[in-house]
Amino acid sequence: MLTFQELTSIVQGHVVQLVQPWPVVHLLTDSRKLSQPAGTLFFAIRGKYNDGHKYLPQLYQQGVRAFVVEQGEEAELKQQYPEANILRVENSLEALQKLAAWHRANFQMSVIGITGSNGKTIVKEWLAQLLSPDEMVVKSPRSYNSQLGVPLSVWQMEQNHTFAIFEAGISQPGEMEKLQQVIQPTLGIFTNIGSAHDEGFTSHRQKVEEKLKLFKDVDLLFYCADHALVHEAVQAKEIKAFTWARTQAADITIKATTTVGHKTIVVYTWQGMKQRLAIPFTDEASVENALHCLAVLLYLSLPLSEIQDRLDRLHPVAMRLEMKEAINGCYLIDDTYNNDLAGLAIALDLLVNQPQRGKRTVILSDLLESGLPEEKLYRQVAELVQARGVERLIAIGEKISKYRNLFTIPAAFYSSTADFLNQFIPGQFRDELILVKGARVFEFEKIVQAFQQKVHGTVLEVNLDALVHNLNYYRSKLAPDVRLMVMVKAFAYGSGSFEVANLLQFHRVDYLAVAYADEGVQLRENGITLPIMVMNPSPDSFAKLRQYNLEPEIYALEQLQAYVASLSGAVTSKIHLKLDTGMHRLGFTEEDFEDLFTLLKQYPQVQVMSAFSHLAGADEAVHNDFSQLQIRNFRSMADAVEAQLGYKVIKHVLNSAGIVRFPEHQLDMVRLGIGLYGVEATGDEQEALRPVSMLKTTVSQVKKVKQGETVGYSRKGIADSDKTTATIAIGYADGYDRRFSNGIGHVLIHGQRCPLIGNVCMDMCMVDVTGLDVKAGDEVTVFGPQLTLVELAKRIGTIPYELLTNVSTRVKRVFYSE
Ligand SMILES: *Cc1c(COP(=O)(O)O)cnc(C)c1O
């Protein structure tokens, strides 16, 4: 086992302090993921959005005694962390990579490195599946393929493993050399090259050449020679290759691929022999991914019958993890992604980061493809669930049941999913957060179904990764000291307040804002601890505000008078002053100032946290002059506030559009709203954002309507020819705007646009599906990436804000992450 002392010679740096022997077992880069302080080494890494050094005090308090840092006075570090071993280095991330590279070099096994634009994760997961009968495989968890993810992946390598598969992804030149040093692959797979992530590179060619650096020392590189750019570059570099191709000379020449039912039959020649195999997929990407795997299996000399047998059992890799409401106030995290130890650890992290969701329960199957001896595996599983504070375990499978003695937390064991479902009593689950994680063969979707509430077929899917992407996009525009307030009013613009707030808390924004006290109370009751500003506090909510530590926006004198009258004693009470600089909605004007300051001076316990104003036309360039004028007014008014109060307050004026348009006026904080939810209000940078929500429903019935007949209320939908219509399960009571009636609105069914026919009803509406193959139960997209809110809003003369916030609360929200 590695000790901290040995570490100091592997990772060169300056030993600030070495006070106790300390084993290095767990590498930590994200303080939120601490599970066992003993044996943890924390790397304080400075990232684009965060700085690990900020979390040293907290980790020290939690018992971590080994740190790699980049900054800090030696004397201060020693004084603050007297019992910690501390190593100071130039660059903590590079130190982590160096350590991982050292670890990697201890092993002799075959190590496959995978890169390429698409398919990395699937090829990795499939290969692990395909090789698992013969090999103990260690692989990257999920898509841990970054500068940070790769070293953490490689750190998992242990003596009992016989085969390793790691993926590597880069976004700019210079990164791959580092990943190569960490992975030191002996074999390589280059999946393909697409146009994604082109930003960091000057050309496709450069991108290919950068990626090829992963393979500089491999014995053999697997790739498809039909990708001309890849093929040329590999040949130019003289990398020894093993190729497959349809149109080129290759080691495996594909003669024909035909679709038969749900399979693709591939005929190819290999070593002069003609062979045929069935791949259990029909889409092009899956076939390509499977052919990469085939190349590796042929190279490893597996018999053809064995290859076919294993291919037959290949299953699609679920790339997302869903969160959804369930019976009796329970909430499910449904993770069917994969089922190894690293995947379990990631899912458990997520569980831990949903505070106050009630009791934490895990339903877990046998772990397959773990690459560990059974007893060791289940010992680690037991430690993991205990360390993450799981309160109840339901374990399903013969293997995990065999090791029941290792589990110290309350646990029930079942031999099979059917066994569990037979004994399932819904009333035994109440107000619990339940992680459902099972290997494919256990068919845990049946368990998920048993837990899910009955709802009508309309759901709003919220992509949490897209939300984080958008958050980071706006963050990247902020100067380092500028704080970020995020608007989660109106049910987080329709997306679901608690879930969004929780994610924002996890990603450490500085402030949240809601419209009403009740919204704030709800967040507090769900464990949100961030400061929260309430923009429309009514006098009868003042006591509640203080009880829940919510900070009111104060915009008028009478309101402030009522507020101070409700104060009791000298307890500090935080408020925010809204200044009216031209919007003429709410806020103090300069005429109010004298009275305002007089009153505030009488109540020194009232602390003004911030002063702010709102721009009336930041989204439209025609109003730029007016916005500038508002900003100037605001600055001078806010200065007056500070001068009168005699202390600094947080000054903020920009909303989402303002952040894009007036980067020079970020002041102390900005207020992000619609942009987080995927709509770039100025329209200039829409491309940079990812759509967050997708509203979906289903077809209830399909009908034939004859020419001249009518459809729906008031007989507004007139069939001008024979038509096929589909009745879909969404109406104005779900928030589907009635102005979409009669051809104004469209929905997507099987990717095709279908116009509305007739009026939108309360719970349903009808669309024209003439000529399309549509049946009851088919999925309908009401809005989403292919049918944007921006377009739909234009069609009915409104703004995306309205469409988003109108989605009624009876529409179930499903949150997922990729
Ligand atoms: C809603 C709101 C915002 C956010 O506006 P977006 O246009 O959604 O970015 C900012 N400030 C105030 C006062 C708001 O009410």
Hey, what CATH topology would domain 107-243+283-289+298-312 get? UDP-N-acetylmuramoyl-L-alanine:D-glutamate ligase (3.40.1190)
List own/partner pairs for 583-588 with CB under 8 A and 24 or more apart. Answer: 583/613, 583/614, 583/615, 583/616, 583/630, 584/616, 585/614, 586/553, 586/555, 586/556, 587/555, 587/613, 587/614, 588/555, 588/556, 588/557
- How far apart CA 813 and CA 677 sit, in angstroms, is 14
Residue 32: its pLDDT value, please?
84
Residue 571: its pLDDT value, please?
85
Q: Which ligand 1 atom lies nearest to the CA of residue 801? A: 8
What spacing in Å lies between the alpha carbon of 487 and ligand 1's midpoint?
A: 7
Architecture of domain 4-91: 3-Layer(aba) Sandwich (3.40)
Choice between 460 and 571, residue whose per-residue pLDDT is larger: 460
Residue 355: its pLDDT value, please?
63
Q: Quick check: is 414 catalytic?
A: no
Residue limits of CATH 3.90.190.20 in the chain:
322-453
Flag whether pLDDT at 284 surpasses 80.
yes
Two tokens, residue 723: 């038509």
* CA angle in degrees (0–180, nearest 5) for 779-785-788: 100
What spacing in Å lies between the alpha carbon of 673 and ligand 1's midpoint?
A: 5
Is the shortest distance between the CB of 656 and ligand 1 below 6 Å? Answer: yes
Nearest residue (by CA) to ligand 1, atom 4, is: 673
Two tokens, residue 142: 């999920």
Choice between 746 and 261, residue whose per-residue pLDDT is larger: 746
Nearest residue (by CA) to ligand 1, atom 12, is: 614
Residue 375: its pLDDT value, please?
92
| Residue 202: alpha-carbon gap to chain centroid | 28
Residue 540: its pLDDT value, please?
92
**CB of 571 closer than 8 Å to CB of 603:** no
Mention every residue, 6+ apart, whose C-beta is less than 8 A from residue 157: 103, 104, 106, 107, 138, 164
Flag whether pLDDT at 370 surpasses 80.
no
- How far apart CA 516 and CA 534 sit, in angstroms, is 6
Name the residue of 555, 623, 650, 671 to mutate for ligand 1: max ligand atoms within 8 A of Cβ: 671
Please write the tens of the pLDDT for every residue from 45-64: 998 778 999 999 999 999 99
Instruction: Find the mean pLDDT for residues 617-625.
Output: 96
Q: Which residues are annotated as a binding site?
A: 585, 762
Q: Which of 110-119, 340-349, 630-639, 746-755 has the lowest mean pLDDT?
A: 340-349
What spacing in Å lies between the alpha carbon of 806 and ligand 1's midpoint?
A: 17
Instruction: Find the mean pLDDT for residues 638-654.
Output: 97
- What pLDDT band is residue 257 in, cutting at 50, 70 and 90? very high
What spacing in Å lies between the alpha carbon of 476 and ligand 1's midpoint?
A: 19
Flag whether pLDDT at 99 surpasses 70.
yes
- How far apart CA 806 and CA 785 sit, in angstroms, is 18
Is the shortest distance between the CB of 7 and ligand 1 below 6 Å? Answer: no
Is the shortest distance between the CB of 486 and ligand 1 below 6 Å? Answer: no
Is the shortest distance between the CB of 651 and ligand 1 below 6 Å? Answer: no
Instruction: Find the mean pLDDT for residues 305-331.
Output: 85
Residue 799: its pLDDT value, please?
95
What spacing in Å lies between the alpha carbon of 644 and ligand 1's midpoint?
A: 27
User: What radius of gyration, in Å, describes the C-alpha atoms of the chain?
Assistant: 30
Flag whether pLDDT at 357 surpasses 70.
no
Nearest residue (by CA) to ligand 1, atom 10, is: 655
Strand runs (DSSP E) across 24-109, as ranges? Answer: 26-28, 40-43, 66-69, 85-88
Residue 506: its pLDDT value, please?
87
Domain 693-816 CATH class label: mainly beta
| Residue 750: alpha-carbon gap to chain centroid | 26
**CB of 7 closer than 8 Å to CB of 30:** no
Report the run of H or E that residue 61 belongs to, with start and end.
helix 56-61
Residue 338: its pLDDT value, please?
64
Choice between 745 and 322, residue whose per-residue pLDDT is larger: 745
- How far apart CA 356 and CA 526 sit, in angstroms, is 6
- How far apart CA 732 and CA 746 sit, in angstroms, is 15
Is the shortest distance between the CB of 227 and ligand 1 below 6 Å? Answer: no
Q: Which ligand 1 atom lies nearest to the CA of residue 674? A: 8
DSSP β-bridge partners for residue 245: 253
Nearest residue (by CA) to ligand 1, atom 6, is: 673
Q: Which of 216, 703, 713, 794 is catalytic?
A: 713
Is the shortest distance between the CB of 487 and ligand 1 below 6 Å? Answer: yes
Instruction: Find the mean pLDDT for residues 141-158.
Output: 92
Instruction: Find the mean pLDDT for residues 272-281.
Output: 94
Place of tokens 């739909």: 792
Give the single-character DSSP code of 156: T
Is the shortest distance between the CB of 681 and ligand 1 below 6 Å? Answer: yes
Is the shortest distance between the CB of 142 and ligand 1 below 6 Å? Answer: no
Residue 592, Cβ density class (10 Å: 0-12 exposed, 13-18 middle, ≥19 buried): middle
Q: Which residues are annotated as a binding site for substrate?
A: 585, 762
**CB of 175 closer than 8 Å to CB of 147:** yes
Q: What is the strand order of the sheet 252-260 is part of? A: 137-139, 163-167, 110-115, 187-190, 220-224, 241-245, 252-260, 263-270, 273-279
- What pLDDT band is residue 457 in, cutting at 50, 70 and 90? confident
Nearest residue (by CA) to ligand 1, atom 13, is: 614
Two tokens, residue 660: 């894009």
What spacing in Å lies between the alpha carbon of 485 and ligand 1's midpoint?
A: 10
Flag whether pLDDT at 456 surpasses 70.
no
Is the shortest distance between the CB of 613 and ligand 1 below 6 Å? Answer: no
CATH code for the part of the protein at 462-688: 3.20.20.10
What is the CB neighbour count within 10 angstroms for residue 799? 15
Q: Phi and psi at residue 554, in whole multiples of 5°?
A: -115, 125
- How far apart CA 252 and CA 291 sit, in angstroms, is 9
What spacing in Å lies between the alpha carbon of 664 and ligand 1's midpoint?
A: 18
Instruction: Find the mean pLDDT for residues 356-371.
Output: 83
Flag whether pLDDT at 84 surpasses 90.
yes
Secondary structure, 3-state, 352-419:
HCCCCCCEEEEEEECCCCCCCCHHHHHHHHHHHHHHCCCCEEEEECHHHHHCHHHCCCCEEEECCHHH
Residue limits of CATH 3.20.20.10 in the chain:
462-688
Is the shortest distance between the CB of 674 and ligand 1 below 6 Å? Answer: yes
* CA angle in degrees (0–180, nearest 5) for 50-53-56: 125
| The CA-based dihedral angle spanning residues 544, 546, 552, 556, taken in that order and rounded to the nearest 10 degrees | 90
Is the shortest distance between the CB of 678 and ligand 1 below 6 Å? Answer: no
Q: Quick check: is 647 catalytic?
A: no
Q: Which ligand 1 atom lies nearest to the CA of residue 659? A: 9
What spacing in Å lies between the alpha carbon of 552 and ligand 1's midpoint?
A: 16
What spacing in Å lies between the alpha carbon of 661 and ligand 1's midpoint?
A: 15
Q: Which ligand 1 atom lies nearest to the CA of residue 553? A: 13
- What pLDDT band is residue 179 in, cutting at 50, 70 and 90? very high
Q: Which ligand 1 atom lies nearest to the CA of residue 655? A: 9
Q: Please state, in angstroms and as integers, the Cα–Cα distance from residue 96 to each residue in 79, 150, 184, 804, following that order.
A: 25, 10, 15, 43
- What pLDDT band is residue 198 in, cutting at 50, 70 and 90? low
Flag whether pLDDT at 317 surpasses 80.
no
What spacing in Å lies between the alpha carbon of 226 and ligand 1's midpoint?
A: 50
Give the single-character DSSP code of 316: P
- How far apart CA 731 and CA 766 sit, in angstroms, is 10
Q: Which ligand 1 atom lies nearest to the CA of residue 493? A: 8
Q: Which ligand 1 atom lies nearest to the CA of residue 672? A: 9
Mention every residue, 6+ apart, whose C-beta is less than 8 A from residue 598: none
Please state whether the predicted TM-score (pTM) of the whole model is above 0.85.
no
Residue limits of CATH 3.40.1190.10 in the chain:
107-243+283-289+298-312
Which of 399, 401, 407 shows the shortest CA–CA distance to 373? Answer: 399
Q: Which ligand 1 atom lies nearest to the CA of residue 515? A: 15
- How far apart CA 584 and CA 679 sit, in angstroms, is 25
CATH number of 322-453, picked from 3.20.20.150, 3.90.950.10, 3.90.190.20, 3.30.2350.10: 3.90.190.20
Report the run of H or E that residue 755 belongs to, with start and end.
strand 752-757
pLDDT over 70, % of the chain: 98
Two tokens, residue 368: 């397959």
Mean pLDDT of the chain: 93
Strand runs (DSSP E) across 613-713, as ranges? Answer: 650-652, 669-672, 693-705, 710-711
Q: Print burial letters for 618-650: b (CB count within 10 Å at least 16), e (below 16).
A: bbeeebeebbeebbebbbebbeebeebbeeebb
Residue 453: its pLDDT value, please?
62
Residue 356: its pLDDT value, please?
60
Residue 204, Cβ density class (10 Å: 0-12 exposed, 13-18 middle, ≥19 buried): middle
What spacing in Å lies between the alpha carbon of 776 and ligand 1's midpoint?
A: 41
**CB of 512 closer than 8 Å to CB of 498:** no
Q: Which ligand 1 atom lies nearest to the CA of residue 578? A: 13
Q: Which ligand 1 atom lies nearest to the CA of residue 658? A: 9
What spacing in Å lies between the alpha carbon of 816 and ligand 1's midpoint?
A: 25
What is the CB neighbour count within 10 angstroms for residue 683? 13
Is the shortest distance between the CB of 581 and ligand 1 below 6 Å? Answer: no
Please write the tens of the pLDDT for every residue from 102-131: 999 999 999 999 999 889 999 999 999 999
Instruction: Find the mean pLDDT for residues 270-295.
Output: 94
Flag whether pLDDT at 138 surpasses 80.
yes
**CB of 51 closer than 8 Å to CB of 70:** no
Please write the tens of the pLDDT for every residue from 388-441: 889 999 999 999 999 999 999 999 999 999 999 988 888 788 889 999 998 888
Two tokens, residue 426: 């819904």
Q: Print burial letters for 483-509: b (CB count within 10 Å at least 16), e (below 16).
A: bbbbbbbbbbbbbbbbbbbbbbbbbeb
Residue limits of CATH 3.40.1390.10 in the chain:
4-91
Q: Which of 489, 578, 651, 696 is catalytic?
A: 489
Residue 666: its pLDDT value, please?
97
Is the shortest distance between the CB of 673 and ligand 1 below 6 Å? Answer: yes
Please write the tens of the pLDDT for every residue from 292-312: 999 999 999 999 999 999 999
- How far apart CA 273 and CA 35 sit, in angstroms, is 54
Is the shortest distance between the CB of 655 and ligand 1 below 6 Å? Answer: yes
- What pLDDT band is residue 816 in, cutting at 50, 70 and 90? confident
Is the shortest distance between the CB of 550 and ligand 1 below 6 Å? Answer: no
- How far apart CA 26 and CA 754 sit, in angstroms, is 54
Side-chain-facing half-sphere of 267: CA atoms under 13 Å:
6
Two tokens, residue 678: 């995927």
Is the shortest distance between the CB of 652 and ligand 1 below 6 Å? Answer: no
Give the single-character DSSP code of 704: E
Is the shortest distance between the CB of 671 and ligand 1 below 6 Å? Answer: yes
Residue 114: its pLDDT value, please?
98
Report the run of H or E that residue 331 belongs to, with start and end.
strand 331-335
